[in-house]
Structure 1
């Protein structure tokens, strides 16, 4: 079996993983970055809206901090919020210096800033409506040119490897050779994204199966706030538009949510109407859909000039035209979809987990920034800030070198499966009951049913995993089952409704807000 050694092993090639690698390269530290598929396959590439940061004289750090705390429904760690927000302008400056083509105002020449739900000021810097693609392609080109960074594609991480209590690498399935490789690293960084594919409807591309969270949990790492799954309010409802978001910025620039009869409904739910935080908007849409028996509602920006729409939302406009929808002339059908995992691997402000040598950054991590609900466009900001924090901490740490090779992967007792249908069936079952029982609105009975089902499925999956050679589908299924169980366990432990977690049996807030922290074996 192949053994590969690197100073730092980074699992994930989105904004968080590539930023960490580039920051390490600036300190002359070599890293290996692995991607589950192609290098640009993750969620960053598909991010539309932008990155929040204080870039205007009319804005302030305190205002951004306060907006984030309000959106987080009292559960944010204020220290983490301020840490992130204060480093925002520098993080954006770093991207600008590296050539990310952010949109500028034609006459003035400075950057165009937009406003999204929960923000009190225009502070979202963006590259038209394809900010993630602009960031990802820029960082990727720099990483490919760096002599300090090795990029490996088509590698599916299986499990972390610990030596003397310290994370020392990972077992990785090479899709091309179908062999499990052993990749060693004196530090390991998880940048694998979220766990949104645990739900039937997701805005994320294939791959967001909670791999990093599940691997960290199996390695003994603590996780936190897994009950807070953000549902993006406006995913395009169309049979040929899987996981295509209608950006938050559409509402930020005047888009209105309407019922089939053309009536607006958001003012009935919140004084901020369409600019309310995502949890409020998603619950309002869910309520109206259930009340009226609708498959979807509508998002309408057709009252704006066609030129304005094409200029601000070229990617969305073009994609909708491909699907036979003209957003400059008609309202778009939209539905909520699982979008962002606010919880994750519990880390400190250095991105370090509770397992020595293991870091988690981006959507994989729980830093305390998002609390009970992520405010729009704070996610890419978190990726940039904590990637630098982790890189700085790794550069200053004196991690021990391995004295001997890591133990090789052992598959001497397994055989090829002749029942792959089991994987597909269990995958569908998890996503279906998570959507029905652990979705936007929850009850004790629904959560209890989900707990019974995931316990039974995990036993079946573990037995299957122990007897057959692994495949990418089996790896993801195993991880999905772990994160589903963590979401359910966390949701059952919270005896209140707060932010993204709404339980009809506990509709009120508790007087004291506290994160849900789970530790393996506890």
Structure 2
């Protein structure tokens, strides 16, 4: 992972926020290291495992991710009367002109094939004899919502997790909190992590993927799972990577405070 030089206008942050371990950290080497076990991390592991050995580090249980908690569905231009250009337009309008058009076009272009791949992998999407049973949601001009009842995220991630667990080329290490990226001169060579017993580990990798999700759980009232604290973003930033669009945080409109004080 190549990390660009920091903008000189950016105030440097403290790199080392943890005391060095009192005993040497255990050393591990792996071709590919993935931090995070949401849909993105699991999918990346399955794709990479066709060519190399992979280790997944996750702070909590494998299925503790925002991906697993997602309910609604996934938008893809699959209907005969729909087109990717229409979905791009709908997305840009809903984004009030703030969306990155290149990113939107890539997402829209890849979504149909990805939905077919997930269906072939065993995700129990709702379907008819003619194909996907597509729903209609706000902001969309056509039916394009692929869903698995009202627990689409769980259907996707639990299916991917089963495939990951069954893959001999993938090792899963749960309960590992990554505290820093290893490397210097703008190059990431792995991570330092602490396991659930307090032991320290250095994982050296030829390539490292951060798939740690967002930071919604920093807020008191949130529908995010508790580990969505933006730690991966902070790790990358402290190591010199550039971050963007940090002002965008999704808030679900149905969170409220109960008598017990929980959202």
With normalisation by structure 1, the TM-score equals 0.44
Question: How big is the shift at 1:239?
Answer: 4.5
The answer to whether the 8 A contact 2:221-2:257 is kept is no
1:59 is paired with a residue whose SS is: coil
Question: How far, CA to CA, are the matches of 1:239 and 1:157 in structure 2?
Answer: 35
Question: How big is the shift at 1:170?
Answer: 0.7
Question: How far, CA to CA, are the matches of 1:109 and 1:225 in structure 2?
Answer: 40
The answer to whether the 8 A contact 1:35-1:152 is kept is yes
Question: How far, CA to CA, are the matches of 2:40 and 2:254 in structure 1?
Answer: 25
Question: How far, CA to CA, are the matches of 2:144 and 2:103 in structure 1?
Answer: 19
Number of the residue aligned with 2:17: none
Number of the residue aligned with 1:90: 113
Question: How far, CA to CA, are the matches of 1:31 and 1:11 in structure 2?
Answer: 11
Number of the residue aligned with 1:186: 206
Number of the residue aligned with 1:112: 133
Instruction: Structure 2: state its 5+ residue gaps.
Output: 1-24
The answer to whether the 8 A contact 2:56-2:173 is kept is yes
Alignment of 1:177-256 (within 5 A): 177-235=197-255, 238-239=258-259, 242=262
Residue 139 (structure 1) aligned with residue 160 (structure 2)? yes
Question: How far, CA to CA, are the matches of 1:153 and 1:220 in structure 2?
Answer: 27
Question: How big is the shift at 1:117?
Answer: 2.3
Number of the residue aligned with 1:20: 44
- Listed one character per residue, the Cα deviations across residues 384-407 of structure 1 (whole Å, up to 9, x for unaligned) are xxxxxxxxxxxxxxxxxxxxxxxx
Relative to its length, the structure with more helix (as a share) is 1
Aligned mate of 1:65, from 66, 77, 88: 88
Number of the residue aligned with 2:10: none
The structure 1 segments of at least 4 consecutive aligned residues displaced by more than 3 Å after TM superposition are: 236-243
- Listed one character per residue, the Cα deviations across residues 268-291 of structure 1 (whole Å, up to 9, x for unaligned) are xxxxxxxxxxxxxxxxxxxxxxxx
Question: How far, CA to CA, are the matches of 2:235 and 2:243 in structure 1?
Answer: 11
1:186 is paired with a residue whose SS is: strand
1:81 is paired with a residue whose SS is: helix
Question: How big is the shift at 1:109?
Answer: 5.5
Question: How far, CA to CA, are the matches of 1:82 and 1:160 in structure 2?
Answer: 31
Question: How far, CA to CA, are the matches of 2:245 and 2:111 in structure 1?
Answer: 24
The answer to whether the 8 A contact 1:203-1:242 is kept is no
Number of the residue aligned with 2:146: 125
Alignment of 1:325-336 (within 5 A): none
Question: How far, CA to CA, are the matches of 2:167 and 2:261 in structure 1?
Answer: 36
Question: How big is the shift at 1:83?
Answer: 1.4
2:207 is paired with a residue whose SS is: strand
Please, what is the CA RMSD of the aligned residues? 1.6
Number of the residue aligned with 2:57: 34
Alignment of 1:449-468 (within 5 A): none
Instruction: Structure 1: state its 5+ residue gaps.
Output: 244-522
Number of the residue aligned with 1:5: 29
Question: How far, CA to CA, are the matches of 2:154 and 2:130 in structure 1?
Answer: 22
Specify the structure having the higher radius of gyration (Cα): 1
Residue 49 (structure 1) aligned with residue 69 (structure 2)? no
Number of the residue aligned with 1:394: none
CA gap 1:117/1:240 in 2 versus in 1, 3 angstroms: farther
Question: How big is the shift at 1:164?
Answer: 3.8
1:224 is paired with a residue whose SS is: coil
Number of the residue aligned with 2:22: none
Higher relative contact order (CA 8 A, sep 6+): 2
Aligned mate of 1:155, from 176, 195, 219: 176
Question: How big is the shift at 1:136?
Answer: 0.7
